[in-house]
Amino acid sequence: MTNITIIGLGIMGLPMAKNLVKAGYTVTGVNRSPEAVQKLVDAGGNGAASVAEGVKDADVIITMVPDSPDVADVVQGPEGVFANAKKGALWIDNSSIRPDVAKELAEEAVAAGLGVVDAPVSGGEQGAIDGVLSIMTGGSPEDFAKAEPILQAIGKTIVHVGPAGAGQTVKAANQLIVAVNIQALSEAIVFLEAYGVDTDAALKVLGGGLAGSKVLDQKGQKMLDRDFAPGFRLALHNKDLGIVTAAARGAGVSVPLGSAVAQLVTSLVARGDGGLDHSGLLKLTAELSGRE
């Protein structure tokens, strides 16, 4: 399978598409903004003016869009993927959406004659650029086997975690862990700054012990510099935490730390900071201590 169409060329989708081109695939991009499509064309890919046009000859269709309604919008209806993709094509959804929606759409995809895996990614913009994303994949073993070579071009850790929807469930858990870690790091930095500690040195030694994490490695210095240029926007993490809290409630599971951080993220988004990187949690944490 060599012809790949990717729908959604945003912060994550565009570098993923470029890595697929580098891996030797014929890649066609579909995006609301023509500028992003042109960037893919400049990198050796192709562009299509619509979903229907983009998927008609595709062996593999990848969706990388913000939320559950966005995925449904591009796959359903007369102009969508299901109505226009050829029978036997494989649909890979790299978006992060609700597990129940992933299951429902997977059933529709199978009814339309498509293979399907839900394969949300973790690793942020830099992970997408470097092609080292962690990818948690739900679907049948047969469809995962077809998807794995494609996913190897964009990711490093690729794991089949169960049937349709399982990938999205694991991604929700990932977003819970990441959000709580960012909040804990925000509180630690505000605490260190309040005591006038050499924060660069402090994060170096903390990173070498049990407190070390990828969150600290990737976000620590940016937080010290108050550099909140988006790698993963607070608005998207707010959406993901909504998925977490709703899914946890549905399963009868308590997520007290996750729920608290979800409220902090919602507050930042509500006041207009949704375009900042999720490390922007530091802003609110510092303000609550009167230090910003």
Average pLDDT, the chain: 97
Please tell me the predicted confidence (pLDDT) of residue 1: 58
pTM for the model stands at 0.91
How sure is the predictor about 53, in pLDDT bands with cuts at 50, 70 and 90?
Answer: very high
CATH assignment of 3-162, among 3.40.50.720, 3.30.710.10, 3.40.50.2000, 3.30.470.10: 3.40.50.720
In percent, the amount of the chain with pLDDT more than 90 equals 97
Is the pLDDT at 202 greater than 80? The verdict is yes
Is the pLDDT at 2 greater than 90? The verdict is no
39 flagged as catalytic: no
How sure is the predictor about 119, in pLDDT bands with cuts at 50, 70 and 90?
Answer: very high
Mean pLDDT value of segment 121-146: 96
Residues with Cβ within 8 Å of residue 143, at least 6 apart in sequence:
90, 115, 116, 117
CATH superfamily of 169-288: N-(1-d-carboxylethyl)-l-norvaline Dehydrogenase; domain 2 (1.10.1040.10)
Please tell me the predicted confidence (pLDDT) of residue 254: 97
Please tell me the predicted confidence (pLDDT) of residue 17: 98
Helix, strand or coil for residue 165? coil
Annotated active-site residue in 18, 171, 239, 283: 171
Is the pLDDT at 26 greater than 70? The verdict is yes
Mean pLDDT value of segment 65-94: 97
Which two structure tokens, joined as six digits, stand for 223? Answer: 């937080």
Please tell me the predicted confidence (pLDDT) of residue 290: 96
Interval 247-281: pLDDT, tens: 999 999 999 999 999 999 999 999 999 999 999 99
Mean pLDDT value of segment 190-206: 98
Is the pLDDT at 103 greater than 70? The verdict is yes
Per-domain boundaries in the chain: 3-162, 169-288
Please tell me the predicted confidence (pLDDT) of residue 270: 98
Is the pLDDT at 292 greater than 90? The verdict is no
Distance from C-alpha of 241 to C-alpha of 244, rounded to nearest angstrom: 5
How sure is the predictor about 231, in pLDDT bands with cuts at 50, 70 and 90?
Answer: confident
Distance from C-alpha of 155 to C-alpha of 151, rounded to nearest angstrom: 6
Residues with Cβ within 8 Å of residue 239, at least 6 apart in sequence:
66, 67, 96
Adjacent-strand bridge partners of 118: 93, 138
**Cβ(120)–Cβ(236) under 8 Å?**
no
Mean pLDDT value of segment 158-183: 97
Distance from C-alpha of 80 to C-alpha of 53, rounded to nearest angstrom: 10
Is the pLDDT at 160 greater than 70? The verdict is yes
